[in-house]
Amino acid sequence: MPNYKFIRFPFIKHILNYLQAYSVGFFHLFYPHICMHCGNEELAAANVLCAACEKNLPYTHFLPIEKNSIEKIFWGRVSLHEAGASLFFTKDSIVQSLIFALKYNNQKKAGRLLGNIIGKDILNSQRFKNIDCMIPIPLSKKKQRERGYNQALIICEGIQEKIPHIQILPLVLKHKNAVSQTSKDRIQRTQLSSKSYSIIDKGQIDKKNILIVDDVITTGATIESVCKYILSEARPQSLSVVAAAYTI
């Protein structure tokens, strides 16, 4: 019988978890019209998930609710008008399959689906009604070159498919961090990160109601640093935040 004691080592567990998460997405490269999560059903070319997986998506229903869990993350950290996330992100979930396919397997359709979900949430909410433009959370030039695109921008495109009048303005750029942040706490990371951005044209976002868009919110540190930078360098009418998913 094989000896599985090596599973006790955390880095081995980490590798195995990632291999499992990538498997369906990698298979999807060669058989592109199967469900991106379960891989069990042949789909129409435009579809990403089978009917069963789509039905089981874990919606948060946060967007219509004031003082929801996403807004509470940023209390005392940065002034936001509204915030929310459409789906819950958990290990080995349908949402994880979509995020991993988008970020690591060049599956932009997954990002547009996530954006469509956010767009529908906004349309069904009495909030987020005065948004003028979206700014995707930026990637560093190195990461964007490796990936070929910014996944947050793809999600913005999916939102715009549902709400065409909202402009996409990828005006915030991220520069390589000069100092390692590994040993820093959240406050120190935020202070360092706020020095890592620039805005291409501040005039385009002055007096605008801006929606910051990201793929997943966990601690909120990246969004916090981007929002603080925008508020320090420009004069938006308001800043709101939305993400495809919230880690629980």
Total domain count, the chain: 1
* pLDDT, tens only, 164-220: 999 999 999 998 754 545 455 666 665 666 568 999 999 999 999 999 999 999 999
pLDDT band at 33 (very low <50, low <70, confident <90, very high): confident
pLDDT given for residue 178 in this prediction = 46
46 within some domain: no
Residue 7 has pLDDT above 50, yes or no: no
136 within some domain: yes
40 class by beta-carbon count within 10 Å (0-12 exposed, 13-18 middle, 19+ buried): exposed
Percent of the chain residues past pLDDT 90, beyond the cut: 72
Among candidate residues 48, 52, 46, 83, the one with its CA nearest the CA of residue 66: 83
Residue 127 has pLDDT above 50, yes or no: yes
Q: Are strands 172-174 and 167-168 parallel, antiparallel or unpaired?
A: unpaired
Beta-carbon contacts of residue 153 (< 8 Å; ≥ 6 apart): 136, 168, 170
pLDDT band at 222 (very low <50, low <70, confident <90, very high): very high
161 within some domain: yes
Percent of the chain residues past pLDDT 70, beyond the cut: 79
Among candidate residues 152, 162, 147, 148, the one with its CA nearest the CA of residue 110: 152
Domain enclosing residue 147, as ranges: 58-247
Residue 176: CATH number of its domain: 3.40.50.2020
pLDDT band at 154 (very low <50, low <70, confident <90, very high): very high
**Average pLDDT of the residues in 226-231:** 96
**Average pLDDT of the residues in 118-133:** 97
**Average pLDDT of the residues in 58-64:** 98
Residue 11 has pLDDT above 80, yes or no: no
207 within some domain: yes
pLDDT given for residue 43 in this prediction = 83
Helices (H), the chain: 10-30, 51-55, 69-74, 94-104, 108-123, 141-147, 151-162, 186-193, 221-233
Q: How far are the Cα atoms of 77, 78, 89, 221 from residue 217, in angstroms, in the given order?
A: 15, 15, 9, 9
**Average pLDDT of the residues in 14-22:** 52
178 within some domain: yes
Using the 8-state DSSP alphabet, how is residue 137 labeled?
P
Q: Whole-angstrom Cα distance, residue 153 to residue 158?
A: 9
pLDDT given for residue 185 in this prediction = 61
pLDDT band at 3 (very low <50, low <70, confident <90, very high): very low
The residue with greater pLDDT, 160 or 18, is: 160
237 within some domain: yes
pTM of this prediction?
Answer: 0.83
Cβ-contact 89, 96 below 8 angstroms: yes
156 class by beta-carbon count within 10 Å (0-12 exposed, 13-18 middle, 19+ buried): buried
**Average pLDDT of the residues in 88-102:** 97
**Average pLDDT of the residues in 113-141:** 97
Per the document, the length of the chain is: 248
Q: Whole-angstrom Cα distance, residue 245 to residue 90?
A: 9
Task: Give the 3-state secondary structure of residue 237.
Answer: coil
Residue 86 has pLDDT above 80, yes or no: yes
186 within some domain: yes
48 within some domain: no
Tokens read off for 16: 């195995």
